[in-house]
Amino acid sequence: MYIICCDLEGVLVPEVWINVARWTGIDELKLTTRDINDYNALMKRRLEILRQHSITINDIQKVIALLELMPGALDFINWLHGRVQMVVVSDTFREFADPLLEKMGWPVLFCHHLTINKEGEITDYNLRQSDAKMKVVEALQNLNYKVIAIGDSYNDVQMLRKAELGVLFQPPQNVVDDNRDLLVVNSYLGLKKIVSEKLEEG
């Protein structure tokens, strides 16, 4: 039996931090795991920038509330219903995700969470566990599931390699160049085809 482990940002919804960068005008916040493969270094820098510019969780949540799913994402999610279950596996934070999950019909989400003080300042980030995406795949495999994993960035690579089938969806060229062994798909139509073929194999 198969199950889908799908990344959130860059696969189903736009990158949150890129949109925060646009709203604030702070270009450095545009950097994501598509650009930097050291997630901890990236998050520490992000929190420092937020502190310097007095940007609160409320500011970020206002930006997120305006985001829509990527064109074709909801159709893909609905297409999966009745065929195979999907779990969203992300390095986002629970405090960011709810407005986006609502638009997707509230799928199961495995992610991290933030430490926020009474003024709404994000003071720290808390990883659910190290290598969290890959460990979700391992746990599901230990329950006798086969996993199709979909991601777009450096922080998805371990998950994709651990799965029975790992797919890079619309990745930037630098991620492709560094991971030539992984399958690349550039449309939801292509994802449907790959998933259908794998499910038919059993």
Catalytic residues: 7, 9
Count of C-beta atoms within a 10 Å radius of residue 81: 10
Q: Specify the length of the chain in residues.
A: 202
| Inter-residue contact 185 to 191 (CB < 8 Å) | yes
C-alpha separations of 137 from 24, 92, 124, 152, 164 in Å? 36, 17, 26, 16, 9
Identify which of 8, 36, 29, 20 has the alpha carbon closest to the alpha carbon of residue 172: 36
Q: β-pairing, 146-151 with 183-185? A: unpaired
Report the distance separating Cα 15 and Cα 33, nearest Å: 10
Q: b/e map of 130-162 (b: 16 or more CB within 10 Å)?
A: eebbbbbbeebeeeebbbbbbbbbbbbbbbbeb
Handedness of CA 184, 190, 191, 194 (dihedral sign): negative
